[in-house]
Structure 1
Amino acid sequence: MTSDNVESGTAVPTSEVGVRYDLDGPVATVTLCRPEVLNAQTPAMWAELANISRKLPGDVRVVIVRGEGRAFSAGLDLSVARGDGDSSLGRLAHLSPSECADRIAGFQSAFTWLRNPSIVTIAAVHGHAIGAGFQLALNCDMRILAEDAKFSMAEVTLGLVPDLGGTKRLAELVGPSRALEICLTGRRIAADEADRIGLATAVVADLPGAVADLAAAVVSADQGAVAEIKALLAGASLRSYQEQDRAEREAQTRRLRDLLGAGE
């Protein structure tokens, strides 16, 4: 990474780890850039994703996540997972339970920052989004799919469970029964089905154009209102109707006071 003081409109190099981000005013674009292996993910990429979350300027309001080449991400790089590095599956298996869980928590941090209430995150998905790729998209607030997009939660084919922050969002979007079926079968979910069952925010013919238009719409909206709306909706499933009504009242009171300057 370069210095924290990054000029707007510049690409930010990230050495050879396979991730970069570009800044265009309040919009940051994070790109997985290992197209030769369909953006298969490694622990080094996860470390860089987490690092990007700490490097983003405070005025960034929208983060777009995309993949370079023919796919969003083919998931975990099995050559690394089956190797003998510190983060290989074999090494993780020989850690103590608490050490293994701590290591996985570090991996999760590469994904979970995308749920930060101060930003709106958009996954621009084309081609395959498998396993870790699917979970990366699930951690984003919205998923805009090209017509060739395909999701798969393939961890079960390795005898593993999804562990990168995707299971709660998946169950919220499609319900626990369908989420169980998706995770147990590891089957491919085409864009039209993803749209029908609620995994896709939209399926579009022009992915870059649609994502750019959505990002522009978010940026044009009042920043305080966007943050309050995101928080209201994120917590809605955990609240009763009465609790949600109260949360709405409290959020609106804050907006009115901020907009009209009351209490200063």
Structure 2
Amino acid sequence: MTTFATLLYELEAETGILTITLNRPDKLNALNAATIEDIRTAIQRAQDDPQVRGVILTGSGAKAFVAGADIAELTQLDEISARRASERGQEAFCSIEESSKPIIAAVNGFALGGGCELAMACHLRVAAENARFGQPEVNLGLIPGYGGTQRLAQLVGKGKAIELLLTADMVKADEALRLGLVNHVVPQAELLSFTRALLLRILTKAPLALGLCLDCVNAYYDQQRQGYQTEANGFARCFGSEDFREGTAAFLEKRPAAFTGN
């Protein structure tokens, strides 16, 4: 079993909920190369582990989800190593977005720069009332490098995304909810319990169908794929599944469905 230097990996066996906690509290959970690699490895392990049914991603402490990138590390990069770092971060965050298992960010404080990008890569976002979001890279003479320019526009629209990117303004949790950047805002003390309850509700549904829904939505934003055809293919695949037969039988028999993911 792989151990992680920068995060905690805790699986609740009875529910299949995995909690991944970014764990650099002395650095406000800032992302460095080691953290990016740990995230990539943890998500791949979760995807491959049949015991994992869904994931909660959060940060340690009450102040920050991820307060940004490790600036000291960034200053050591040149153009070539910076491109590699960006591509590696994009790969790690795309593995979150492309996971067939639902991944929810529980944003417990500042989600700035790479932290905002990490939250946006998750399928859903629940924010504590004290959460703050932003892409402040232009303050450092930079731009987001882990997919922020792309996902921010997808979530809040082109015009607002450009404003937030160019001004580096921080957005409070209630404004993030209004913009569609997060799905829910809850008191800090209720963040993990609310997120867990939301994920448990999702996990009562057919696992195959959940994964196909995620794949179809992602296909809409992928220029290399046809979203409608992906949907038709996924729809057809469901009809060959045991979950479809179980779901329809349970509906007709007026009983809860017992899905297996097959």
TM-score, normalized by the shorter chain, greater than 0.5? yes
- Residue 55 of structure 2 aligns to a residue whose secondary structure is strand
Q: Is the 8 A contact 2:100 2:212 kept in 1?
A: no
Q: Which amino acid aligns with 2:119?
A: A
1:21 is matched with which residue?
9
- Map 1:234-249 → 2, pairs under 5 A: 234-236=218-220, 246-249=229-232
- Residue 72 of structure 1 aligns to a residue whose secondary structure is strand
Q: Is the 8 A contact 1:121 1:141 kept in 2?
A: yes
Q: Is the 8 A contact 2:103 2:124 kept in 1?
A: yes
Q: CA deviation at 1:43?
A: 1.3
Count of aligned pairs: 235
1:173 is matched with which residue?
155
Distance 1:49 1:246 in 2: 31
- Map 1:136-147 → 2, pairs under 5 A: 136-147=118-129
**TM-score, normalized by length of structure 1?**
0.81
Query: Please, which runs of 5 or more residues in structure 2 have no aligned partner?
Result: 246-262
1:58 is matched with which residue?
49
1:38 is matched with which residue?
28
Is residue 253 from structure 1 mapped to residue 236 from structure 2 by the alignment? yes
1:161-202 Cα distance to aligned partner (Å, 9 max, x none): 101122222101111111011111111100110000110111
Distance 2:44 2:231 in 1: 30
1:193-247 Cα distance to aligned partner (Å, 9 max, x none): 00001101111222111111111112211011101111222223569xxx65554
1:7 is matched with which residue?
none
- Map 1:160-239 → 2, pairs under 5 A: 160-205=142-187, 206-236=190-220
- Residue 187 of structure 1 aligns to a residue whose secondary structure is coil
1:123-152 Cα distance to aligned partner (Å, 9 max, x none): 000211110111110110111011111101
Q: CA RMSD in A?
A: 2.1
Q: Is the 8 A contact 1:28 1:63 kept in 2?
A: yes
**TM-score, normalized by length of structure 2?**
0.82
2:75 is matched with which residue?
89
Q: Is the 8 A contact 1:19 1:33 kept in 2?
A: yes
Is residue 151 from structure 1 mapped to residue 133 from structure 2 by the alignment? yes
Higher mean C-alpha displacement, 182-191 vs 163-172: 163-172
Distance 1:176 1:247 in 2: 25
1:104 is matched with which residue?
86
- Residue 39 of structure 2 aligns to a residue whose secondary structure is helix
Structure 1 171/40 Cα, relative in aligned 2: closer, same or farther at 3 Å?
A: same
Q: Is the 8 A contact 1:228 1:251 kept in 2?
A: yes
Q: CA deviation at 1:30?
A: 1.0
- Residue 119 of structure 1 aligns to a residue whose secondary structure is coil
Structure 1 175/68 Cα, relative in aligned 2: closer, same or farther at 3 Å?
A: same
Higher mean C-alpha displacement, 114-123 vs 144-153: 114-123
Query: Please, which runs of 5 or more residues in structure 1 have no aligned partner?
Result: 5-12, 82-87
